[in-house]
Amino acid sequence: MRNPFSALGRGGRKLRIGYGRIFHEACAHSPLPTTEADFRRTHHLEGAALAQAATLRGSELKSFFPHAELTGFMQAARAAGGVTAVPLSSSLAIPGGPVTRECFEWLVRRLLDNLRQAGTLDGVYLALHGSMEVLGLDEAPEAVILARVREALGPGPRLVASFDLHGNMTPAIVDALDLLVAYRSNPHWDLAPTGFRAGNRLIRLLRGQIRPHKAWRKLPLVLGGGTTIDFVAPMRQVFSRMRQLERDPRVLATALFMVHPFTSSRELGWSVHVATDGEPALAERLADELAELAWRAAETPIPELMGVEAALATAQQSPWRRLGPVTLVDTDDIVGAGAPGGSTQLLAALVGRDHGLTALVPIHDPALYAALAKVAVGTSLEVTVRGTPGYEQPPVTLRATVAARADTELGRRVRLEQGQVHVAISAEPPMPIHPRYWTELGISARDADIVVQKNFFHYRIFYATHTFHHVPVATSGATNLRRVLELPRRVPSRPAAEVADWRAGDRLLRAY
């Protein structure tokens, strides 16, 4: 008879498991490299501070998710019993340009120093992204992290990692791990459940309750799948099938990686991964099945992007404005995908003529922020918004009033008001995914006609009751999709190339 508690990993010897995170998503086209200061400003915890943050009463990723992967891991350890969870280090920065080599070495050094001080461990769990990029490093950074951790651990302890579903899997990453899991939602809401699944599988592995066999496929595919949202067509079928498969006790984990397309990796491509409990033939068969499902779903092209004036006209005419603001997604300047957030083109169109719309626009312009730092609220003045240095955006002159300022976990920013146009000038790349970004500046997003977002997906979680019409807008910036089609690839890949079948590309991509 099956042990009813075996699914939680209960029973067996006591365990000591280390846990930590190095998490970053890079955009190769951003003019702003990511540095140690970016991680320290956003999220860097070690030791007791990390242990406290990763509890149900703690706040693991302040201003974003109070309970993320490491909290989920801790709950898996608690449910299994007999597990001492040892905090290592946890570092996360907002997506941006490639990480400097100095910063990368600091990140790995902090993780390894804590690992060496942790004493004897049975295993380690790491929360990684999978689309990191490091200046001057030709390998996948996550592969380097895993190799160094594996070397420090020695041959006995087990190593498990979780990834964002936009990670770019490589043979070096997959081969370094005993098991891997990934987010199964897009927008990503399942960070803590992902950490729980990873911790649960690691504990069961260490207690001899499972015997994982891994199989994966890598597709010559970079873009497709419509919006790639997990609960709408065409990707709904793939994610539903993955959840269905995991209800089979023989299937330990399934994952689909739809990649972050703005890195410079020549081996970029979607992939699927399956882990079964001692069933190698089943793992191989299911990996083929999921690869075929994903390949077919990706035949649906990404949504058509509007020009700026067409998008503003759509917002003016939208019947959904009666219920809340229309969201204009600045697809070429997505901070959530590593762009700096300094595009001025929507602002230029809004102030160029009166559209009769109350608009909220976030713009990264550190020089202007510094110039406004000591200007009193209520002051009227003329300023020129230039955006991110080196970003080559059109300057926009405003005759505006300094309406409010904020210095919080969501960043340092000043709100300028010219008529119905409200501009948040930020010192750091803005992440206004939560309405609180604007309420901290004294204005309600719900009362606006337009809210400009610099994020593809995640804002929808926090704006679910605010906005019901989402318009993707093409401007010009680091996340322009034309850049994706122009980058060289190791093998011909869709949509830049016509590829009839994924199998030949898979064999080549998994060989590098």
Q: Output the pLDDT for position 409.
A: 87
Q: Output the pLDDT for position 65.
A: 87
Buried b (16+ CB within 10 A) or exposed e, 478-495: bbbbebbeebebbbebbb
Cα 276 from Cα 215, distance rounded (Å): 9
Contact 345, 454 (CB under 8 A): no
Q: What region does 442 belong to: left with phi over 0, alpha with psi -120 to 50, or beta? A: left
Q: Output the pLDDT for position 512.
A: 85
CB neighbourhood size of 175 (10 A) = 11
Q: State the pTM of this model.
A: 0.94
Mean pLDDT, 10 residues at a time, over the chain (512 residues)?
69 96 97 97 96 96 90 98 98 97 98 97 98 96 98 96 98 98 96 98 98 98 96 97 97 98 96 97 98 97 93 96 96 96 97 92 98 96 97 97 95 97 97 95 97 93 94 94 90 95 97 88
Only one residue has tokens 């999709």, namely: 481
Contact 109, 40 (CB under 8 A): no
CATH assignment of 13-210?
A: 3.40.50.2300
The Cα diameter of the chain in Å comes to 77
Can you say whether the dihedral through the CA atoms of 150, 153, 157, 162 is positive or negative?
A: negative
Q: Output the pLDDT for position 1.
A: 34
Burial of 91 from C-beta contacts in 10 A (0-12 / 13-18 / 19+): buried
Cα 128 from Cα 134, distance rounded (Å): 14
